[in-house]
């Protein structure tokens, strides 16, 4: 059985959605506190969405300094940053580039059309700083069809295969259950499972 860990920071707010999504696939899932060093083995570790430390200074800037992030088992365990988690991973320089304010300066909350593995999927986005710039050598796994936030090359998600680190702005965990109207997030979670 897949063992998943979800790091919770002060201000994280998507940890329960992410846990429910993992449990939908039958994964054994537990939370990891931001101020704990990661000592246990996990097959996948999520940095979920939210507003860690109130986005003070800049999104993800403070969270990158926590014991949990500093002890991430880079290269050994698949690490997945969603939204604020992606911002934390770029701030920690675990993924290249940076996420700046959306081109229209608005907070964008909508269901976005995304290009993923050769097809178009619908997944919610909800962010103020999702405008991605400065990509390095990572593989692009998600692209906005209509580039809502002005990202370079319509980039919505990247994957560093060598170090097993994924970062994405869209929220696949919000598109799992039929009662919520969207289920394309399952495809992203299945991709994550295959990469473990």
Residues forming the active site:
83, 171, 173
The binder of another protein chosen from 20, 30, 40, 65 (CB under 8 A): 65
Question: Which CB, 13 or 58, lies closer to another protein?
Answer: 58
Residues 25 to 44 in contact with another protein, rule: CB under 8 A: none
| Site map (CB under 8 A) of another protein, residues 77-96, x = contact | -------------xx----x
- Does position 103 bind another protein by CB under 8 A? yes
The CA-CA-CA angle for residues 63, 69, 73, to 5°, reads 165
The binder of another protein chosen from 102, 112, 174, 188 (CB under 8 A): 102
DSSP structural state of residue 72: -
Number of residues that bind another protein (CB under 8 A): 19
DSSP structural state of residue 138: P
**Beta bridge pairs of residue 144:** 114
Rounded distance between C-alpha atoms, residue 165 and residue 3, angstroms: 17
C-alpha to C-alpha distances, 134 to 82, 96, 100, 183, nearest whole angstrom: 18, 7, 11, 31
Question: Which CB, 8 or 90, lies closer to another protein?
Answer: 90
C-beta separation of 102 from 131 below 8 A: yes
Residues 150 to 169 in contact with another protein, rule: CB under 8 A: 150
Query: Terminal CA-to-CA distance of the chain, rounded, Å?
Result: 12
Rounded distance between C-alpha atoms, residue 154 and residue 114, angstroms: 9
C-beta separation of 44 from 192 below 8 A: yes
Instruction: Name the segment binding another protein (CB under 8 A); options: 59-67, 78-86, 163-171, 178-186.
Output: 59-67
The binder of another protein chosen from 1, 105, 118, 162 (CB under 8 A): 105
Question: Which CB, 61 or 186, lies closer to another protein?
Answer: 61
Contacts to another protein by CB under 8 A? 57-58, 61-62, 65, 90-91, 96-98, 100-103, 105, 131, 133-134, 150
């Amino acid at each position: 059985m897949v063992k998943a860990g979800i790091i919770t920071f002060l201000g994280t707010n998507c940890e329960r959605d992410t846990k429910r999504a993992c449990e939908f696939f039958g994964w054994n899932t537990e939370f990891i506190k931001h101020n704990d060093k990661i000592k246990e083995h996990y097959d996948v570790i999520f940095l979920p969405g939210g507003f860690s430390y109130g986005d003070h200074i800049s999104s993800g800037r403070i969270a990158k300094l926590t014991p949990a992030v500093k002890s991430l088992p880079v290269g050994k365990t698949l690490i997945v940053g969603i939204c604020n988690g992606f911002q934390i991973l770029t701030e920690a320089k675990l993924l290249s580039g940076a996420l700046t304010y959306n081109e229209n300066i608005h907070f964008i909350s909508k269901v976005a059309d995304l290009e993923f593995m050769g097809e178009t999927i619908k997944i919610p986005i909800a962010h103020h700083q999702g405008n991605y710039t400065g990509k390095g050598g990572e593989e692009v796994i998600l692209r906005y069809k209509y580039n809502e936030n002005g990202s370079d090359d319509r980039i919505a998600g990247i994957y560093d295969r060598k170090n097993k680190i994924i970062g994405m702005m869209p929220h696949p965990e919000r598109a799992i259950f039929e009662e919520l109207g969207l289920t394309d997030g399952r495809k992203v979670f299945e991709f994550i499972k295959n990469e473990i």
